[in-house]
Chains A and B, each alone.
Chain A
Amino acid sequence: MKASLVLSRFGQAIVVLIGVSLLVFVIVRVIPGDPVRLMAGEQASEERIQAIRTNLGLDLPLWQQYMIYLNNALHGDFGWSLRYQRPTSELIAGAFPATAKLALVSIGLAIFVGIPVGIISAVKCNTAIDSFVMMLMLIGQAMPTFWWGLVLIVLFSVTLRILPTSGDATAKHFVLPALTLATYITALIVRLTRSTMIEVLDEDYVRVARAKGLRESHVVVGHALKNAALPIATVIGLQFANLLGGAVITETVFGWPGLGTLAVNAIYNRDYPLVQAIVLLMAVLFVVINTVVDISYLYLDPRLNEK
């Protein structure tokens, strides 16, 4: 069963990745802007512009360009950045660790806070505590990341001067960007955990567990949470994949040298190969994490194993 699931997921992943590669290939070429002009600068002559275009194969028919791109990608060559004049794989490998570290800290923080608070809110449903938590979470979800990031900078960096505004050199540098990213995700997890737990806590088997005289904490964590875990894990997985693709706005606000910043610059400069490579990586991450989440269902819900 597990093997067939993995195989089917693998097959789907191939189709998704080819689709994404084709889509992004077309989209970057449809948006207005000429990468060669931007790369060559305002002073370049028309002859030079044409020579670069020919050299890069950008004057070939689109389908030919796509075939070359696909062929190269299958051989592990994801192209040469027009802007940075370096292999795109090298640039991505340089930016990915910063993004991954920030993503891990942020999602870790969100899980650490979100699940317990969500459980408490569910257990204390319709009390003052629950209302207060829900109000906070609503604010957390509604706040624009850009604004929230700047508020944190003004408070902790400019006014209190206890945390740095930007950069990724030390653990201190992680605090503000991770807090900015974790705020939204925490709110999401709290709300989801709460609603799922409320449903589950109303189930017969929970009442049975209580009737057996088990401690309330045991009932909530051992019985209810286990059954509420499926949707929570799904959302965590998706949010994590999102973060790994580069939190564009947060990275820009905090000068974080990750994939998001790289992607924005690549788009502004119509750096086709780099945009394609980054989007493809994002697609791979989504596919991998979704597959991991799917497989994790087998452990979270043993009934799936039996089918």
Chain B
Amino acid sequence: MNRADRRKVFGSILLTLVLALAACGAQPPAAPTESVATQPPAPAPTAAPMEIRVGVAADPVSMDPRVSIAQSGFAMLRHAFEPLVFRASDMSLVPVLAESWSRPDPLTWQFNLRKGVKFHNGEDFDAEAVKYTIESYMNPDNAWVNTQFAGYISVIEGVEVKDPHTVLLHTSKPSNALVNNLALIAMLPKEHGAASGELFTNAPIGTGPWRIIEYTPNSRMLLEKFDGYWGQKPKIDKIEFRILPENATRVAALESGELHLINNLPTDTLSRIESNPDLQVLSTSSNRVIHVGLEFNRPPFDDVRVRQAMNYATDKQAIVEDLLGGYPDIATGPMHPSVAGFPSGLTPYDYNPEKAKQLLEEAGYGDGITVKFGYPTGRYLMDKQVGEAIIGQWEQIGITIEPETAEWGTFFNNRATLLKYDAWLYGFGAVTSNPDYALQWFGRGRKWGGDYENPAVDELLSKADAEVDQAKAIAMYEEACRIIWDEAAWVFLYYQPDLYGASKKLQGFEPRTDEYFLLFNASLSQ
């Protein structure tokens, strides 16, 4: 066989590969918008730039703050976008793009805007930008905007530009919650926003201390310090958020020194991280209340004694110690103590199976009850294991459980659409950290069926939101909390811990109860 034949043989074997390569080339080229490069990177400073790399479990989904409703997305985008007001680490409201605000009458909020603020593209931030932003969030024609945001600010009837630095929000009814909810509304540049429309995500522009220079879905988001920032300049020059949904990889990337910080630290790695001399575990009790919802509208959970029995039958301490490394705080109320309106002196539901049995007997269920119990997999910290532990505990007092676990999409459909469960493991975080939001499941937020319903609570919550006198409003929230707690609206479990693994070089980073991981004060030591 001659050389030409030999070549033919090898060429033939590799033909598939070569032609397939050609097929690849025939695919449409990557859209220039996929990885956004909004502006050319600034020239490198003379000192070595401080760059921090953070591993996050979930993709922010979009660089348009009107689209992203993932909790981690809120936190990532907060570095580049700013609202009128935000929350300090103690959850008190602090001014950001509004210098101050007042309520000239019960149906009007006035915001006095900060002067000299520029967007990343050089546009001025002013009252027109506020008007544009709020209207774009609320405009039903903007199909790409997540309707959840319009819900937060739905009481707004009109936005009035009083002067370039003063804006009036007219509301359909008095609402205290509106100011807290505005913390979720990122201010956007009017001209650029109107021009880019639904493609804003490809060229995201905010006023924050960092600007977004790259986003590749499911891969990374890169931010660079914005030199024209109006406020205190951060120490960190660049932030890279790396999207790593796989727990083992995220932890490995931290251990290898590639990352400085990771969120959603799995509890089974806690001791490993704690014993690593270069790493540390950072945690706080978040305001996400992990609970078991109970089908309120049909027996047996329409009886308060049965609901209380379920609370006494659940050993929260064992779950927290054995499954969650002792990190979570057991729930002491229907919302987190950091939220205004949290009452003192609620009687805890200590683990007491005997009392639980007695209450079931009193309610006429001495022979036991059968409960269809649903719990998700992969949604909350160790949710599957927690669900299994609860089943074991309930079975001890003679409750027959029909368990069902599913990934979130299926579980959510079973709960919200099919109303399939009598009891369901759920977590609810008050992203705005105010009582109106935190207690919404017991009042205005009731929507799927099966949730706790009490006209007295409805009235208290509704009046509290409209009450101009804050002390009176707080007293009403406290009263509502007492009723909800005493009536055992849920099986209250614990506040989900917000767990981070971090390099010991990372300074100035503090976990927050609202689960926002913010790097405004962070730096890296040598």
Contact = CB atoms under 8 A, between A and B. Distances in A.
Interface of A: 31-34, 37-46, 48, 51-52, 55, 83-86, 89-91, 93-98, 100, 104, 107-108, 111, 115, 150, 153-154, 157-158, 161, 164-168, 214, 218, 221-223, 225-226, 229, 232-233, 236-237, 240-241, 244, 252-257, 261-262, 265, 268-270, 285, 288-289, 292-293, 295-296, 299-300
B462 interface: no
Contacts of A38: 408-409, 412
Interface residues of B, number: 72
B56 to A, nearest CB: 10
B188 interface: no
Given A161-B257, A257-B219, A289 B16 contact: yes
B515 interface: no
B151 A48 contact: yes
B59 A265 contact: yes
Interface in B401-460: 406-410, 412-414, 416-417, 428, 445, 447
A45 B147 CA distance: 9
A263 to B, nearest CB: 10
Contact of A226 (B9, B14, B243, B256): B9
B216 A93 contact: no
Given A94-B216, A240-B16, A33 B413 contact: yes
B329 to A, nearest CB: 23
A158 B151 contact: no
Contacts of A100: 24, 27
A157 B67 contact: no
Give the residue among B8, B12, B140, B252 with the most A Cβ atoms within 10 A: B12
Given A46-B447, A95-B218, A104 B21 contact: yes
Contacts of B447: 45-46
Contacts of B15: 233, 292, 296, 299-300
A236 B16 contact: yes
A289 B20 contact: yes
Given A38-B408, A38-B409, A86-B62, 10 more contacts: A33-B409, A34-B409, A41-B148, A94-B30, A94-B216, A104-B17, A158-B256, A164-B256, A232-B13, A289-B16
Interface string B299-326: 0000000000000000000000000000
Nearest to A237: B16
B252 A229 contact: no
Interface string B1-14: 10001101100111
29 contacts: A34-B409, A37-B416, A38-B409, A40-B147, A42-B428, A45-B447, A48-B147, A52-B147, A84-B217, A85-B67, A85-B198, A85-B201, A89-B31, A100-B24, A158-B252, A158-B256, A167-B242, A222-B6, A225-B9, A233-B13, A255-B245, A257-B216, A257-B219, A257-B220, A257-B243, A262-B218, A269-B409, A292-B20, A300-B12
B16 A293 contact: yes
B30 A83 contact: no
Nearest to A230: B12
A96 B30 contact: yes
B19 interface: yes
Given A91-B217, A165-B253, A225-B9, A43 B34 contact: no
A32 B410 contact: yes
Given A90-B34, A218-B1, A244-B20, A166 B413 contact: no
Q: Interface on chain A toward B: helix, strand, loop, or mixed SS?
A: helix
A32 B416 CA distance: 12
B252 A157 contact: yes
A262 B61 CA distance: 11
A255 B16 contact: no
9 pairs of A and B residues whose beta carbons are closest in the complex: A94-B34, A257-B219, A33-B409, A222-B1, A226-B9, A85-B144, A292-B19, A41-B148, A165-B253
A50 B202 CA distance: 29
Contact of A33 (B20, B24, B410): B410
B91 to A, nearest CB: 19
Interface in B244-276: 244-246, 248-249, 252-253, 255-258
B33 interface: yes
A222 B5 contact: yes
Contact of B148 (A40, A222, A252): A40
A222 B9 contact: yes
A5 B152 CA distance: 61
B143 interface: yes
Contact of B413 (A34, A158, A223, A268): A34
A241 B412 CA distance: 34
A94 B412 contact: no
A83 B406 CA distance: 20
A255 B143 contact: no
Contacts of A158: 252, 255-256
B218 A257 contact: yes
Contact of A85 (B31, B64, B257): B64
A94 B299 CA distance: 52
A252 B246 contact: yes
Contacts of A46: 447
B23 interface: yes
Contacts of A111: 13-14, 17
